[in-house]
C-alpha cells in the first residue's frame, strides 16, 4: 500500500472507530442525613452539614473500614455533589465499581463535626438527571415540612436560602 493511500483510506472513513470507547460509569446516591435531635433543633450550636465536612467524614470512614488501598480506589470518582444544609439531603457520586464500598462506609459514619448522625439512602441511580429529580422532589417536600415546623421563625431569608439550594441542585452536572 502506498503512503498516500494509507492517509486517503483513513480520511474517507465515514465514522470514527468508537469501539472500546465507553464513558466512565458512576453511581449517584441521594442520601438523607439525620442529626442528633438536640443538635438539629439548635439547643446548643446547630451543626451545619457542608460538602467539606460530609466528604471528610465519608473518606475517614472508608480509610478506617477499608484501609488506604480501599480509600485510594474509591477516590477516583468519589465526590459529594450537593448538600442542602436545611433539609440535610445530599447527592454523592462514586464509580460503579466502588459505590458499594462507599455506601458501606457511609452507613458506618457515626458522627459529623462531633454530632451523631445516621444516613438513609433515598435513591440510587446511574444518572445524575434521575438523582437530581429524586433529590429535588425530596427537598421540596422537606422544605414544606420545615416551613410548617419553623412557623413564625420562618423568615424571607430562609425562603431565599432554600430557593438558592433548589437552584443549585438544578444546575448539577456529572
**pLDDT, tens only, 61-117:** 999 999 999 999 999 899 999 999 888 999 999 999 999 999 999 999 999 988 899
Is 11 part of a structural domain of the chain? no
Please report which confidence band the pLDDT of residue 170 belongs to, taking 50, 70 and 90 as the band edges: confident
CATH code for position 134: 3.30.70.3250
Is 4 part of a structural domain of the chain? no
* Model confidence pTM above 0.85: no
Confidence at residue 46, expressed as pLDDT on a 0 to 100 scale: 65
Query: SS3 string of the chain?
Result: CCHHHHHHHHHCCCCCCCCCCCCCCEEEEEEEEEECHHHHCCCCCCCCCCHHHHHHHHHHHHHHHHHHHHHHHHCCCCEEEEECCCCCEEEEEEECCCHHHHHHHHHCCCEECCEEEEEEEEEEECCHHHHHHHHHHHHHHHHHHHHHHHHHHCCHHHHHHHHHHHHHHHCCCC
Is 86 part of a structural domain of the chain? yes
**Domain span holding position 70:** 23-170
**pLDDT, tens only, 117-141:** 999 999 999 999 999 999 999 998 9
Confidence at residue 83, expressed as pLDDT on a 0 to 100 scale: 94
Amino acid at each position: 500500500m502506498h503512503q498516500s493511500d494509507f492517509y486517503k483510506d483513513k480520511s474517507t472513513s465515514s465514522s470514527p472507530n468508537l469501539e472500546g470507547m465507553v464513558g466512565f460509569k458512576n453511581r449517584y446516591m441521594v442520601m438523607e442525613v439525620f442529626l442528633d435531635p438536640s443538635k438539629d433543633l439548635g439547643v446548643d450550636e446547630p451543626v451545619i452539614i457542608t460538602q467539606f465536612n460530609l466528604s471528610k467524614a465519608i473518606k475517614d470512614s472508608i480509610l478506617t473500614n477499608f484501609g488506604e488501598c480501599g480509600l485510594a480506589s474509591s477516590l477516583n470518582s468519589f465526590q459529594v455533589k450537593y448538600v442542602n444544609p436545611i433539609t440535610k439531603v445530599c447527592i454523592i457520586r462514586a464509580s460503579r465499581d466502588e459505590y458499594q464500598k462507599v455506601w458501606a462506609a457511609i452507613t458506618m459514619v457515626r458522627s459529623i463535626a462531633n454530632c451523631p448522625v445516621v444516613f438513609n439512602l433515598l435513591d440510587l441511580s446511574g444518572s445524575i438527571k434521575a438523582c437530581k429529580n429524586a433529590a429535588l422532589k425530596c427537598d421540596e417536600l422537606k422544605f414544606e415540612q420545615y416551613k410548617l415546623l419553623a412557623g413564625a421563625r420562618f423568615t424571607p431569608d430562609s425562603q431565599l436560602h432554600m430557593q438558592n439550594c433548589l437552584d443549585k441542585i438544578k444546575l448539577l452536572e456529572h
